Structure 1
Amino acid sequence: MAILTNTFNTLHNTAPFSQIKNEDYIPAFEEAIQKTKDEVDAIVNNPAPPTFENTVEAMAFSGMTLDRLSSIFFNLHSAETNDELEKIAQKVAPKLSELSNDITLNFDLFERIQKVYEQRADLDLSTEQRTLLEKSYKDFARNGALLQGEAKEELRKIDAELAVLKLKFGENVLAETNAYQLLIEDEADLAGLPDGLIEAAAALAESQDKKGWLFTLDYPSYIPFVTYADNRALRRELALAAGRKAFQDNEYNNEENVLKIAKLRFQRAQLLGYDTHAHFVLAERMAQSPDKVKAFLDDLLQKAKPAAEREFQELSDFAKKLDGITQLEKWDGAYYAEKLKQERFNLDDEKLKPYFQLEKVLAGAYETARLLYGLHFKEVHNLDKYHPEVQTFEVSNDAGELVAIFYTDFFPRKGKRNGAWMTSFKPQYHYQGIEERPHVSIVCNFTPPTASKPSLLTFQEVTTLFHEFGHALHGMLADTTYPGLSGTSVYWDFVELPSQIMENWCYEEEALALFAKHYQTGENIPMELVEKIKESASFLEGMATLRQISFGLLDMGWHGTDPRAISSIKDFENQQFASTKLYPDVAENAMSPSFSHIFNGGYSSGYYSYKWAEVLDADAFAYFQENGIFNREIATKFKESVLSKGGTEHPMTLYLRFRGQEPQVEPLLKRAGLLK
């Protein structure tokens, strides 16, 4: 137990994964929770009058042992879980929720913070200290510190229930993903599928002592199958299986969980004096209000919908001409889009993959970071890992100083949830004269290597890697005093700027020359392919934009209105999707029961932020394009104004400091081909 609650006796104080046993967690959580309570009690019972240092700053550095333990446990719960960890999570979540409530509902503590807050005009505080003080005060005021009696108890009950429901939601989605397999025994049914996918499916079948080829709902299996399989009935079968995850009559059904989460969030917001959960969340976002988000999404909808409808008609006509398809269905979209892209640009993702060997793409991302920010990545083998596939790196600057520890984890496996994300095992901060550097990780689910080929990425996987690497740079280059304001601890609709801007380099010839080399011959990707990648960047972008808007509208539907009258998830979704609908509805599918971003991740009332940040990233990258994509001066400005500052100032203040002007929407519309 002590191993998880003491400073780790490891190189760079990294997590000692191999020494941790599952039975260590519960006692460690109990010890760390008690330690946090003692630290808070010491602040509350300090006989000296409240000051910024003895109250606000002391709170900022309390609970560090628990934070470290939680980050290790919940990161493994996402990337390397098992039945035991899931049971522990169910026990731990309500305890953490209770502690959080114990702190934010502690009126004596709030009173001390309030006294410092009321003197703020007379205090000689730095910008970061002012931000910390305002954030501390708001965190308490927004989370029930001013509630009385029964209302406080009600809030505690809601938060404890939500903590467990969200975990259960995620576990059900993972269980449903793992439970489905499509076994193909007739080789003719593999027509159209790439060799690499067939080889991986054969290896998976063999590993389970089955004859034939096994396909799953993991993205590297699912996406290429529905994109390339000529057998329409099998595409339909796999797409239906993906669409009914946690929406089936079995123990993993999430419908009840969705309704409960939405209603509890609404109840919580009302208790705290907000109209809806979205009003509560958006008060601390760049967007500020549900009305502003809806206006933003509606404006984009007006601009994207005509293009999307044109593209859908074009795709439908193409499918009819090619195969006599009279009604384009959801399981046809990716397949005919790929065929149309090949016809129009003579560009096939499978022809591109040999130029995108994972190791080379990763090296290209590192070289991009060196050219922009002077970072150097050195793989090391003396740091503990939680899985043999994980790679570990020391990241240093031009002066040779340690900037960060970096973990990468790229392939799907049974205990790992789908998708891609960046996370951290330890934040950056300054404490008692010592600077602590961050330990950052990116976790993805890419096409794994096979017996005959290394891991070759689709172009979409390449942009995903650069996206998550952008988040990682935000974490690595952090330079703040307080851990709660460090790295990606920023307004949620600003957090996607550092990640999305990195995707732009994937379309630039100068950047592709660094890593797009044929895995067998070493030759650079031919210029005509680079041109086609750039030309095809806005291919069917109207439909893609409409899809993202539909997810944002569904999120705002659940969280920006009173959900108490909703009884049918399916009917509710159909209402939300009415303005963005292109394909016929599929009765046995629903999105919400597996929409992990908003019901298990941090995106509730925040899904719009992907499009919001796209406006920022297109505008910011336009600045690089005007001055050179590897312009160190512009990169240094971006690092010093945005990446290193975390949440120490308002995002728009940081953006204006970098760009010298407010973001314009035109670069995004131009990039997406939506400007007339």
Structure 2
Amino acid sequence: MRIGRVFLTTVRVGGTFSASRYHSFPPRPIAPAAKFVVRRCNLSVSIRSSSMAVPAGVLVNWDLTKCTPSQLEEDTVKLLAELQQRIDNIGAIPLQQATYHNVVQPLDALNRDLRTNGAILDMPQHCVEDKLVRDASSKAEEKMEEFDVAVNMRADVFERILHVQETGMDELGAEQKRFVNKLIVKGKRYGLHLSSDVQKQIKELKTKESKLAIKFSSNLNEDDTKLYFTKEQLVGLPHDIMNELSVGSDGKLEVTIKYNHLFPVMKNCTNPETRKAMVTAANRKCMKENTPILEELIELRHLLATILCFPTHAAFILDDRMAKTPDTVATFLTDLQGKLGELVEQEKAVMLAYKEEECKESGLECNGELDLWDMRYYMDMVEKKKYAVDHNVLREYFPMPRVLTGMFDVYQQLLSVKFDKVDNPPVWHKDVLMYKVNDTDSGELMGYFFLDLHPRAGKYSHAAVFGLQQHCKLEDASTQVAVCAMLCNFSMPTADKPALLEHSEVETLFHEFGHVMHHICSRAEVALFSGTSVSRDFIEAPSQMLENWVWEKEPLALMSEHYKSKEPIPDELLLKLAASRAANAGMVNMRQVALSSFDQAIHTQQSADTASEYARIHKQITGFAAIPDTNMPASFGHLGGGYDAQYYGYLWSEVFSMDMFETRFSGKVMDGKVGREYRDIILARGNSIDAKDILVQFLGREPNNKAFLRSKGLKC
């Protein structure tokens, strides 16, 4: 993940028997034997009258325009009552009669129905304009997460899974055996092998943790911070962005700290005081509300880890990840920090020289150092001066309609899939698009995806993919197709101009769509292993690998044209863009090291003063002092969204993504044969096989970090 795309994907931590429904990961499990199948609850939210037909294979109606708070409340009660009865039935099966088919598969069905029907109850908080509906949706999520915890803590159900492991494994296939074994491991991570008193304590703590994490994320979604500037204070901002700003009562222009305003101001505005005001506001976002929540979460997580006999929360989390231990992560980050150090100093020297020159020309006093609000501005200047890449010129070649069409062309050719727009789709907002996906060769229906691309009040404020319905193989050999939604916040089109994307935004779009394809292309038979349910420190690798396409000439030609003249990007500009890829690599990646190190630090402690800890680590690693009276971690959504002690995974995954790209795709980025192998081995397998094993199969050898280091401009 590159600077400027701070929040690419968010998740809530999944459970043991009941895997979390929240966002993209992990997917919903498969259906059980026929007598347990209840594939769709008759929820009023999803079956109300609508002029929009629900496409074949989609289990709920996503037209939320008439959704009401009372519907959400009633449907949550109804859904959980039904599922409670089903989990009680599983727990009542005589122990000696417990089998995969009457215990494990029914658990899958319960998971699937909780997640499919639950998605329509908790999704509105991220996408519906009515605040009362968003609040009701958030409360629905709290109740469902509480139910999740309760199901995960069912010792009677765990005992029956143990019986299946001990007596019924011989008749199972490899994937089914893996599923049973994973459930046992997860059960122990919930303390189900400990005393009933300890289990009660764990249940209380996990319920509290879940509620705090939901509140942390909800506060970020609801933030509506606005600043007001004169046109003179915004000099340098592109005209189309300036023109879309609302005018306040005093005649000043209204600027939010959402990405579609924040980044253009930080990169383009020549007034350092304006940039300082913006970055200060951004780093104070939800500080009052979320700082105490985050610090309580840190204490709760540590206590839970120690109860489960782990020294720290990081040790608990990493025990179930590729990295395995905090020491491994610390070594990885420290080694990368050391390798980046010299490069960072060289980059800073160039930027400081630019700052001194600009201050002299404009008559401003120069303090002789780079400030936090200087970073994006002078990084952009490096690309303009050193690489002759002007992103304000370049964005004119990336109108949203053309980018989408070209991106679809790339993915269709590469992965042997076909996209068709759904007419009059059931959607939650008029701007949302829906597409059907079929396999090119067989014509098989693979799933659907929604695109919700532009900002609006109360909408999820970053970029992420939300899993709404997971691919799964049913007991009758039929298939439940995948459905997911991509939410982003790209600038709106205007009356005389389409939405224009910066190249970094094209990269974001390509990355997130990679997660969409990971969902859609899943072919794991056990749906708990479907698509993006892979280890959290591998989860970003497939999408990161696909980011490389936005730096290659052939895909760029498909995704670009001047919004007025329809001319392609000149070859000269493409060459300059490609040459600029390593620009600022030191500072970009050192910031990621700092954020990852902070995440590890607070989750290897019993408690933390997050503002002072962040200021210390950020200064130590990046050299930039935090702004007084701010606390960036209060708006660091990953910490409450399922990436706790796992933010390092963005850099860790990049080791694999660059190895895959350089080894298999370098020089043949539109090779459909290799692309199909990528789909069948990396995307389709999900978590049915260990990530390390599918990497070895795709690469033909053990993975290494050579391509990763080269991509950062570092020696191997």
TM-score range, shorter chain: over 0.9
Which secondary structure state, in structure 2, belongs to the residue aligned with residue 62 of structure 1? helix
Instruction: Report deviation, 1:340.
Output: 2.3
Cα-to-partner distance string for 1:88-107 (whole Å, 9 max, x where unaligned): 35543443343223322222
> Structure 2 matches for 1:144-155, cutoff 5 A?
144-155=191-202
Cα-to-partner distance string for 1:194-222 (whole Å, 9 max, x where unaligned): 11111111xx22xx666342211011111
Structure 1 Cα separation of the partners of residues 375 and 666 of structure 2: 36
Residue of structure 1 in register with 2:588 after alignment: 544
The correspondence for 1:404, drawn from 443, 447, 457, is 447
Give the conservation status (yes or no) of the 8 Å contact 1:421–1:468.
yes
Instruction: Report deviation, 1:539.
Output: 0.3
Range 324-333 or range 542-551, more displaced: 324-333
Residue of structure 2 in register with 1:52 after alignment: 100
Residue of structure 1 in register with 2:180 after alignment: 133
The correspondence for 1:342, drawn from 369, 379, 384, is 384
Which secondary structure state, in structure 2, belongs to the residue aligned with residue 512 of structure 1? helix
Residue of structure 1 in register with 2:632 after alignment: 591
Residue of structure 1 in register with 2:233 after alignment: 189
What is the identity, as a one-letter code, of the residue corresponding to 2:60?
A: A
TM-score with structure 2 length normalisation? 0.89
Instruction: Report deviation, 1:4.
Output: 4.8
Structure 1 Cα separation of the partners of residues 426 and 142 of structure 2: 30
Structure 2 Cα separation of the partners of residues 111 and 470 of structure 1: 39
Instruction: Report deviation, 1:247.
Output: 2.1
Instruction: Report deviation, 1:671.
Output: 1.5
The correspondence for 2:554, drawn from 506, 510, 517, is 510
Residue of structure 2 in register with 1:525 after alignment: 569
Structure 2 Cα separation of the partners of residues 240 and 224 of structure 1: 15
Instruction: Report deviation, 1:569.
Output: 2.4
Residue of structure 1 in register with 2:33 after alignment: none
Answering whether residue 616 of structure 2 is matched by residue 575 of structure 1, we say yes
Answering whether residue 461 of structure 2 is matched by residue 418 of structure 1, we say yes
Cα-to-partner distance string for 1:609-648 (whole Å, 9 max, x where unaligned): 1001111111001123346112222212211111011111
Instruction: Report deviation, 1:158.
Output: 1.0
Residue of structure 2 in register with 1:494 after alignment: 538
Give the conservation status (yes or no) of the 8 Å contact 1:6–1:65.
no
Structure 2 Cα separation of the partners of residues 66 and 81 of structure 1: 24
The correspondence for 2:72, drawn from 22, 25, 33, is 25
The correspondence for 1:101, drawn from 135, 143, 149, is 149
Range 568-577 or range 305-314, more displaced: 568-577
Range 660-669 or range 547-556, more displaced: 660-669
Answering whether residue 258 of structure 2 is matched by residue 218 of structure 1, we say yes
Residue of structure 2 in register with 1:667 after alignment: 707
Cα-to-partner distance string for 1:82-122 (whole Å, 9 max, x where unaligned): 432454355434433432233222222111111122346x5
> Structure 2 matches for 1:263-662, cutoff 5 A?
263-324=299-360, 325=366, 326-398=368-440, 399-433=442-476, 434-559=478-603, 561-564=604-607, 566=608, 568-599=609-640, 601-626=641-666, 628-662=668-702
Give the conservation status (yes or no) of the 8 Å contact 1:14–1:439.
no
Give the conservation status (yes or no) of the 8 Å contact 1:624–1:631.
no
Structure 1 Cα separation of the partners of residues 229 and 163 of structure 2: 68
Which secondary structure state, in structure 2, belongs to the residue aligned with residue 345 of structure 1? coil
Which secondary structure state, in structure 1, belongs to the residue aligned with residue 43 of structure 2? helix
Structure 2 Cα separation of the partners of residues 670 and 576 of structure 1: 26
Structure 2 Cα separation of the partners of residues 84 and 276 of structure 1: 39
What is the identity, as a one-letter code, of the residue corresponding to 2:475?
A: Q
Range 625-634 or range 415-424, more displaced: 625-634
Which secondary structure state, in structure 2, belongs to the residue aligned with residue 35 of structure 1? helix
Range 458-467 or range 94-103, more displaced: 94-103
Task: Check 1:191–1:558 CA distance in 2 against 1; reply closer, same or farther (3 A cut).
Answer: same
Instruction: Report deviation, 1:22.
Output: 2.4
Range 310-319 or range 353-362, more displaced: 310-319
Which secondary structure state, in structure 2, belongs to the residue aligned with residue 257 of structure 1? helix
Cα-to-partner distance string for 1:442-461 (whole Å, 9 max, x where unaligned): 11111211222100000110
Which secondary structure state, in structure 2, belongs to the residue aligned with residue 182 of structure 1? strand
Give the conservation status (yes or no) of the 8 Å contact 2:524–2:530.
yes
More helix by share: 1
Specify every segment of 5 or more residues in structure 2 that has no aligned partner in the other structure, as ranges. 1-40, 361-365
What is the identity, as a one-letter code, of the residue corresponding to 2:699?
A: R
Instruction: Report deviation, 1:39.
Output: 1.7
What is the identity, as a one-letter code, of the residue corresponding to 1:406?
A: F
Range 319-328 or range 663-672, more displaced: 319-328
Structure 2 Cα separation of the partners of residues 101 and 546 of structure 1: 37
Give the conservation status (yes or no) of the 8 Å contact 2:122–2:140.
no
Instruction: Report deviation, 1:81.
Output: 5.7
Q: Percent identity?
A: 27
Which secondary structure state, in structure 1, belongs to the residue aligned with residue 110 of structure 2? coil
What is the identity, as a one-letter code, of the residue corresponding to 1:320?
A: E
Task: Check 1:164–1:83 CA distance in 2 against 1; reply closer, same or farther (3 A cut).
Answer: farther
Structure 1 Cα separation of the partners of residues 189 and 430 of structure 2: 43
Instruction: Report deviation, 1:74.
Output: 2.5
What is the identity, as a one-letter code, of the residue corresponding to 1:182?
A: L
TM-score with structure 1 length normalisation? 0.94
Give the conservation status (yes or no) of the 8 Å contact 1:56–1:136.
no
Structure 2 Cα separation of the partners of residues 639 and 350 of structure 1: 35
Structure 2 Cα separation of the partners of residues 420 and 133 of structure 1: 34
Cα-to-partner distance string for 1:545-599 (whole Å, 9 max, x where unaligned): 100011100110111x2233x3x32222233335313223311222211111112
Range 348-357 or range 481-490, more displaced: 481-490
Cα-to-partner distance string for 1:429-476 (whole Å, 9 max, x where unaligned): 011322011111111111211222100000110000000000000001
Cα-to-partner distance string for 1:483-509 (whole Å, 9 max, x where unaligned): 211111111111101111111000000
Residue of structure 2 in register with 1:238 after alignment: 278
Which secondary structure state, in structure 1, belongs to the residue aligned with residue 537 of structure 2? coil
Structure 2 Cα separation of the partners of residues 556 and 550 of structure 1: 10
Instruction: Report deviation, 1:537.
Output: 0.5
Task: Check 1:145–1:85 CA distance in 2 against 1; reply closer, same or farther (3 A cut).
Answer: farther
Instruction: Report deviation, 1:327.
Output: 2.2
Structure 2 Cα separation of the partners of residues 210 and 450 of structure 1: 24
Structure 2 Cα separation of the partners of residues 62 and 174 of structure 1: 29
Instruction: Report deviation, 1:189.
Output: 2.5
